[in-house]
Structure 1
Amino acid sequence: MKTAILFPGQGSQKPQMLHELVQHPAIAETLSEVSEVLSLDVRTLDTPEALQSAVSVQLAILTASVATARALQQSGLEPLAVAGLSVGAFSAAVAAGSISLPDAVQLVRFRAEEMERMYPAGYGLSAIVGLSETQVAKLVEAENSKEHPVFVGNINAPRQIVIAGSNEGMELVLQKARAQGARKAERLDVPVPSHCALLQPVADSLRLQLQSISVKDPKPIYLANVTARAVRTAQGVARDLADNIAHGVRWYDATTVARELGCELFLEVPPGHTLSDLAQENLPEIKAHTITPETFNRLLNLAKNEATS
């Protein structure tokens, strides 16, 4: 069974997430490697207090995801494709062998610090469920202004759209979405306006940094955030890592491409479960599961046994 590993983004975090990973040598090695790069114990970043910071959140998610993916890969899993949502793209790039973990840590720390510096308050993300991309785009176009900017962000499913921008601009769109019959229209636990033009300066800086590090062709196929294309070159990975912060993520399209490539099993690494839920909902013919300490061996065996059957 061809497998895709899914890497969650900001919003999936939870306290103690780095203390609840599977027991595996790759986990301990990864925690130590990240701690050395940061010059602090990375496990201090998953307290409720630390997780108030986007920097701690993004670094903790990167660490948990890469550690678990390494545990799977060192245990014999060879995924056909990897896909990461937002900051999860950096985890996917590490798992694909495109960038080193130390470089990913430095890039993610810079990315998160700049996001917080530019927008310390008053901005974020919201989700609208029950309206189409076209309907949400019309609402956003009507309310977007210089004073209260708001943009279409991620397309998680045909009727699950994320918007990004100022609190005031998002609230105007959310109110109209509810009036048009949205089943859900609410703020997400992300206090920065990811995946919109407000963060173009961060994308420009990341592009320069990526030019100065070693980026390699991905070994598993890397599924891009911005274009939802199957990427097989170092240049394509670098472009997506830089650009995704300032563009919407076409997540639904990316998972559809994974299925078209032949992936039948989707495994989401910690700390999230949203991506596996979306995959199962959007692609009911596939199997989608979340990796936990309790499911690790069973799902690893499922992937390996199906691959050889």
Structure 2
Amino acid sequence: MVVALVSPGQGAQKPGFLTPWLELPGVREKLSWWSQLAQVDLVELGSKADADAIRRTDATQPLLAAAALIAAAELPLGDVTITAGHSIGELPAAAIAGALSADTAIALAGARGREMAKACELAETSMIAVVGGQADEVLTAIQAAGATAANRNSPGQVVAAGPIAALEKLKANPPAKARLIPLQVAGAFHTDAMITAQTALSEFASALEVSTPQKILLSNADGAAVTSGKDTINRLIAQVTSSVRWDLCQETMKDLGVTALIELPPAGTLVGLAKRTMPGVEVLSINTPDDLILARDLIARHGVHPTGEPSVQFSVATASVKGHFAPLAELNEGDAVAAGDTIGHIDTRQGPVPVTAPTKGVLVEWVAHPRDPVAPGHTLARLTPGGAA
């Protein structure tokens, strides 16, 4: 019995989809903090913004990452074996697997959205869904038109991307028995059109702290399990210009014996694919907090139960702005701190910005050191919650 927890990609969002989640204790406050890291107002985007506003690449990507992580925090993740995400969904999946902190995933999602939006402005590109047809004939037609198979979601669903002229050529010479559906997107994601975004993200990610995944984390590139923190971040950056192979992720899940698949909000797309390509697997979409009861029940019935062995859990203090870090001179590793205590500040051109402890606990390690350059989402310090190491 194996549970897979999956996160959707861009296009799954709907106006107001986060509204019911704001009623949960602490969610509004968490989203307000993540809004600083992502440099967009996640509360406004998730509850009041219209369809056009949340279609913007710089808005959609951190919004989807935040939604997935908000819901995942309400689940018994210790019983979940596999995590995976489609495109931007791979970032919250990495955080759920323990390879990134939630704060780091949100900051990276914000940077990813901004840089991909900039890349979209450099040339006229777009994407078209190709539904049906023979798989080899579809791929041949896409290549002949000068486009790229950017998403291979299942044998009968491929997304072509590239210059407008190439997509027009594909429409003029479609593969047999296939339907072409133009997508309302800003550009050709997961192609070489995003190379400037990939370069910028590589620089942004160079100072991020990553860890070896504690769950099986499947990569969009080839459906393989990621083996290290370095592999995780390298694949997340490379993913911007490479095809999403969700078809291979599903094949790996079947090979690993997945018996239940839960899609985090805004859910429906990946569950729909699973129903067609993973017969016999029990699936569930989480879209509101009301769905959490069913999700917990599904995990209880299919999940891997904890061993009961003790493990140390850490919380992290992260940067909210770009600048240079200055830890509090009188605070040393091993000292106890209370939630909200100032543990240092970040020197910016506008002046110092305080850094506070996210929880009560013990300062275990300074990750950033005096005068280290930092950016939003960079981990500054690790703490053990609860006041004891």
- TM normalised by structure 1 equals 0.89
The amino acid of 1:84's aligned partner reads G
> For residues 115-264 of structure 1, what are the structure 2 equivalents within 5 Å?
115-120=116-121, 122-144=124-146, 150-177=147-174, 180-182=176-178, 184-264=179-259
Kindly tell me: are residues 96 and 168 of structure 1, through their superposed partners in 2, closer, same or farther at Cα, counting changes over 3 Å?
same
Q: Which residue is 2:16 aligned to? A: 16
CA distance in 1, matches of 2:129, 2:155: 13
Residues 181-235 of structure 1 deviation map (CA, whole Å, 9 limit, x = unaligned): 11x2111232221111221232233233323110101111110011210113112
Structure 1 residues 266-275 or 192-201, which shifts more?
192-201
In structure 1, the partner of 2:91 is: 90
Task: Mark the structure with the bigger radius of gyration.
Answer: 2
The one-letter amino acid of 1:295's match is D
**Distance in 1 of aligned mates of 2:141 and 2:39:** 46
The SS at the match of 2:4 is strand
Q: 2: distance between equivalents of 1:84 and 1:35? A: 21
SS where residue 5 of structure 1 aligns? strand
> For residues 171 and 139 of structure 1, what CA distance do their matches in structure 2 show?
12
CA contact (8 A) 1:26 1:71 kept: no
Residue equivalent to 1:35: 35
Residue 13 (structure 1) shift: 1.1
Structure 1 gap segments, 5+ residues each? 145-149
Deviates more, 1:151-160 or 1:101-110: 101-110
- Equivalent in the alignment of 1:147: none
Deviations along 1:216-268, one digit per CA (max 9) or x if unpaired, are 01111110011210113112211210011100011011111022112211100
**C-alpha distance 59-156 of structure 1, shift in aligned 2 (>3 A):** same
Q: Which moved more, 1:32-41 or 1:193-202?
A: 32-41
Aligned residue identity for 2:242: H
Q: 1:163: Cα distance to partner?
A: 0.8
User: Residue 295 of structure 1 aligns to a residue in which SS?
Assistant: helix
Structure with greater strand percent: 2
**8 Å contact kept, 2:119–2:193:** no
Q: Does residue 295 of the first structure (1) align with residue 298 of the second (2)? A: no
Q: Against the structure 1 CA distance between its residues 155 and 212, is the aligned structure 2 distance closer, same or farther, given a 3 Å change threshold?
A: same
Deviations 1:98-122 (A, max 9, x none): 1122222222222222222122373
Offset of 1:38 from its aligned partner? 4.3
CA contact (8 A) 2:11 2:55 kept: no
Identity of aligned residues (%): 26
Per-residue CA deviation, residues 136-176 of structure 1 (Å, 9 max, x unaligned), is 221122221xxxxx211111001211111123322321342
Q: In the TM superposition, what are the counterparts of 1:276-291 in structure 2 within 5 Å? A: 276-291=271-286
Output the CA distance in 1 between the equivalents of 2:55 and 2:124: 15
**Are the aligned partners of 1:18 and 1:60 in contact in 2 as well (CA < 8 Å)?**
no
Q: CA RMSD in A?
A: 2.2
Does the 8 A contact of 1:174 with 1:186 survive in 2?
no
Q: SS state of the match for residue 72, structure 2?
A: helix
Q: Contact conserved, 2:61 with 2:110, CA < 8 A, in 1? A: yes
1:268-306 CA-to-partner distances (Å, cap 9, x unmatched) read 011131101101110112112101333220121121133
Q: Is the 8 A contact 1:30 1:63 kept in 2?
A: no
Higher relative contact order (CA 8 A, sep 6+): 1
Which residue identity lines up with residue 45 of structure 1 in the other structure?
L
- The equivalent of 2:327 in structure 1 is none
Q: Which runs of 5+ in 2 are unaligned?
A: 306-389
Q: Which has the higher mean CA deviation after the structures are superposed, 240-249 or 40-49?
A: 40-49
Q: CA deviation at 1:27?
A: 3.8
Q: Conserved in 1, the CA contact under 8 Å of 2:94 and 2:217?
A: yes
